[in-house]
Structure 1
């Protein structure tokens, strides 16, 4: 079996989104809510958006054998996604909650993990070898996937080599969120893996870990020097920068100007649109920028994409493309 998009170790979890009815969230206090929603979060939203662009989506991940795992798998199945590669940890649970105030422009994530929740190198390797081949293999978070304490001395670059060998295009989102730098061994393993990556999809913080603090165009140039075929860098919801190794030039386009309601899921939507829309990189970046912007304004909807509105808005962004020399 071949699928269009395989999301590997995508840190699947449910988001519990709470909209306070009072003055907002106060640390350490409960807030009354006028609405609550449990929805598949993390890379599940990446998969949802890619499916809206017509891609068939499958997953390789591990979830708890609990209510949260049930919700995640049920929602993905209801969207027509292939979930047989999502493994259950019997007797384990994971809680990962996003609390978003619709009256602000941010979200707070509260995550707890069982102390013995660790995926072994063998589990991940076996899962990669048993997964269906895919047109695009999307490693959603290198550091969430491969920087667990039990893996800090493992040859995790071998996992990326296996992914690259088995699938068509390899997309990697480093997605480093914890405070502090990654373990030195894993940072070295990531650098070793970059020549095997077709599209590297970092944000500016990820880029700083790999090549230091520079302006975004220079970060793209330095990242290309580490070996990926292409780099698409997101810069705080304002612009996206990209470059390709066979061209050497760096370009950028702005995001749409919208009334932001909630930024939760914007980066996930960007990734889903980037791999779901088209293989032409400038066009896919423009569509991804528009898709992410519409997500923050709660205007994307659940219908097939691209629709006429998204085509028009993406074309407008593409017309504002700049080259950075």
Structure 2
């Protein structure tokens, strides 16, 4: 089984704050920590720690941050032979204030070398032969579309940061994994609280084969292809320290579940457990679990329920 991730590689700058700032407000940070990040690299690291056969396709700069990110990915059992050095551009960075106590965060990304990832970079064997291809939107959209077109296996897309998606891309996606806010934007709906049934209706209107809506501490909503019922998969209860990267861990775990032969509901159950465990340490990768860790808590994950 194999998972290939095409996407961003960043260095995160984590700033601990008593509370997150509002618009136009300045707050004083308590500490600053550098950590590996990027939605693509986070998904690859999560998948790599959960199982074998993970490849990363991306770009970093010719700088110390690039050295650190390549080493971090390799340390998570990810093949980085397709992560290219990019002259003249720095490795991407993300500045992330993290609220003490709740673990909630904000994220501002400077793409750097990620913007240079091209369609030619993704026309490679790890993309063609992967059982599952993971994509996000922190690299050029034309490159994302080229990777989806070149894929021979299941295509999973996290539509973040949210933007309008061409029909040609959505038609190549087997599983779309938005959070609630991204789903609302993609559907062109007004912001506001919605029931799981209302979210499922929005998801079905996108015309994608299957949609998994991540709901944070509430778990995930599984909207399968066809006429099957939507399922609400509640999360595993944990004491969260930092939610940074939990969605990326979820998607990496979902990919490993699908690559291993699980059906969509089973892969989501596995993914909510992994994502919950990932919030029990600092940073996007500070508490990424291994497969044994996840399987040890699976019996504590609530049974999914049908959404009326």
Q: TM-score, normalised by structure 1?
A: 0.78
Task: Please identify runs of 4+ aligned residues in structure 1 that moved more than 6 A.
Answer: none
Question: What is the aligned partner in structure 1 of residue 154 from structure 2?
Answer: 169
Aligned pair partner of 1:86 in 63, 83, 88: 83
| 2:229 aligned with 1:217 | no
Quick check: 1:256–1:293 contact (8 Å CA) kept in 2?
A: yes
| 2:101 aligned with 1:73 | no
Q: Provide the rounded CA distance (Å) in 2 between the counterparts of 1:196 and 1:14.
A: 30
Bigger shift: residues 291-300 or 244-253: 291-300
The CA deviation string for residues 149-190 of structure 1, in whole angstroms up to 9 with x for no partner, is xx6xxxx78525523xx321111111125xxxx3xxxx251x
Displacement of 1:268: 0.9
Question: What is the aligned partner in structure 2 of residue 145 from structure 1?
Answer: 139
Question: What is the aligned partner in structure 2 of residue 241 from structure 1?
Answer: 221
Quick check: 1:262–1:298 contact (8 Å CA) kept in 2?
A: yes
Question: What is the aligned partner in structure 1 of residue 281 from structure 2?
Answer: 298
Displacement of 1:232: 0.7
Question: What is the aligned partner in structure 1 of residue 182 from structure 2?
Answer: 206
Question: What is the aligned partner in structure 2 of residue 17 from structure 1?
Answer: 14
Secondary structure in 1 matching 2:44: helix
Kindly tell me: are residues 32 and 230 of structure 1, through their superposed partners in 2, closer, same or farther at Cα, counting changes over 3 Å? closer
Question: What is the aligned partner in structure 2 of residue 125 from structure 1?
Answer: 119
The CA deviation string for residues 84-117 of structure 1, in whole angstroms up to 9 with x for no partner, is 2112221211332333344342223343356x97
Aligned pair partner of 1:322 in 302, 305, 308: 305
Q: Provide the rounded CA distance (Å) in 1 between the counterparts of 2:77 and 2:125.
A: 18
RMSD value, Cα? 3.0
Aligned residues: 292
Quick check: 1:5–1:57 contact (8 Å CA) kept in 2?
A: yes
Displacement of 1:72: 0.6
Quick check: 1:13–1:72 contact (8 Å CA) kept in 2?
A: yes
Q: Provide the rounded CA distance (Å) in 2 between the counterparts of 1:69 and 1:243.
A: 38
Quick check: 1:65–1:88 contact (8 Å CA) kept in 2?
A: yes
Question: What is the aligned partner in structure 1 of residue 105 from structure 2?
Answer: 107
Kindly tell me: are residues 88 and 32 of structure 1, through their superposed partners in 2, closer, same or farther at Cα, counting changes over 3 Å? same
Q: Provide the rounded CA distance (Å) in 1 between the counterparts of 2:52 and 2:288.
A: 14
Stretches of structure 2 lacking an aligned partner (at least 5 in a row): none
Q: Provide the rounded CA distance (Å) in 1 between the counterparts of 2:118 and 2:277.
A: 34
Displacement of 1:15: 1.6
Question: What is the aligned partner in structure 2 of residue 54 from structure 1?
Answer: 51
Q: Provide the rounded CA distance (Å) in 1 between the counterparts of 2:121 and 2:139.
A: 12
Question: What is the aligned partner in structure 2 of residue 285 from structure 1?
Answer: 268
Greater Rg over alpha carbons, structure: 1
Secondary structure in 1 matching 2:80: coil
Q: Provide the rounded CA distance (Å) in 1 between the counterparts of 2:19 and 2:232.
A: 36
Kindly tell me: are residues 31 and 13 of structure 1, through their superposed partners in 2, closer, same or farther at Cα, counting changes over 3 Å? same
Secondary structure in 1 matching 2:228: coil
Kindly tell me: are residues 257 and 76 of structure 1, through their superposed partners in 2, closer, same or farther at Cα, counting changes over 3 Å? same
Secondary structure in 2 matching 1:85: strand
Kindly tell me: are residues 225 and 157 of structure 1, through their superposed partners in 2, closer, same or farther at Cα, counting changes over 3 Å? farther
